[in-house]
Structure 1
Amino acid sequence: MGVIVALGKQKAVLRRGEWRCADSSLERQLNRLTEEWLLSGNAPGLGEPDHEMAVAREMASRFGGRILYRARTAPQRTVRDYFPKRQFRLAFPDLG
């Protein structure tokens, strides 16, 4: 379902691996930092039962925010949503 986080005077919603916020600059920053964190190897593994909560906790910590609301998500769904975000993007040359 999702997580709502208060970041200063703004609120952001994390749902299915994507942040939404009224402040588009903050939204872009949250999405970029989340992607970097997931690829860094510092994020919890795919065995984490609640990826959205782990991401929300990390971003709240980085921005000095707090979690306001959490709706539980099925573990299978979070693995499906977060697995592609953990894949490295390799730039293969176009041989065609």
Structure 2
Amino acid sequence: MSVLVRIGRKKAILCGGKWSSADPRVEDQLQNSLDMWVQNTGGPPLGHRDPDQFAADAIRSDLGYEVLIASKPKGRTAQTAYFSKRQMALPF
């Protein structure tokens, strides 16, 4: 687990660039916001030690959630998760 957040009474986890929540609407809203943020900004800096924490902090003000727990990821899974998200989507 990387980042656990609370939106009202609902919770969600961001791990490896993917949001998970028991509420599908909350999960979709968080994932869409994350994907838009990555497309607009390029995402967390390359080589950042905790890209999930960086991303969660970056979109927190837009969605108004509270970070409950953040733990550093092990290995390179979280760092490499944002590589594919950085690719431009071309309308072919």
After TM superposition, the score normalised by the length of structure 1 is: 0.82
Q: Which runs of 4+ in 1 moved over 6 A?
A: none
**Match of residue 87 from structure 1:** 87
Task: Give the CA RMSD over aligned residues.
Answer: 1.7
Contiguous gaps of at least 5 residues in structure 1: none
Superposed, which structure 2 residues align to 1:53-72 within 5 Å?
53-72=53-72
> Between Structure 1 and Structure 2, whose CA radius of gyration is higher?
1
Conserved in 1, the CA contact under 8 Å of 2:43 and 2:86?
Answer: no
Structure 1 residue 39: deviation in Å? 0.7
Superposed, which structure 2 residues align to 1:21-60 within 5 Å?
21-41=21-41, 43-60=43-60
Quote the Cα distance in structure 1 between the aligned partners of 2:16 and 2:75.
12
Quote the Cα distance in structure 2 between the aligned partners of 1:15 and 1:44.
14
The number of residue pairs the alignment matches comes to 92
Contiguous gaps of at least 5 residues in structure 2: none
Letter of the structure 2 residue corresponding to residue 80 of structure 1: T
* Residue 8 in structure 1 maps to residue 8 in structure 2: yes
Identity, in percent, stands at 33
Letter of the structure 1 residue corresponding to residue 13 of structure 2: V
Conserved in 2, the CA contact under 8 Å of 1:7 and 1:60?
Answer: no
CA spacing shift, 1:82–1:49, aligned 2, 3 Å: same
Quote the Cα distance in structure 1 between the aligned partners of 2:80 and 2:42.
19
Letter of the structure 2 residue corresponding to residue 12 of structure 1: A
Structure 1 residue 32: deviation in Å? 0.7
After TM superposition, the score normalised by the length of structure 2 is: 0.85
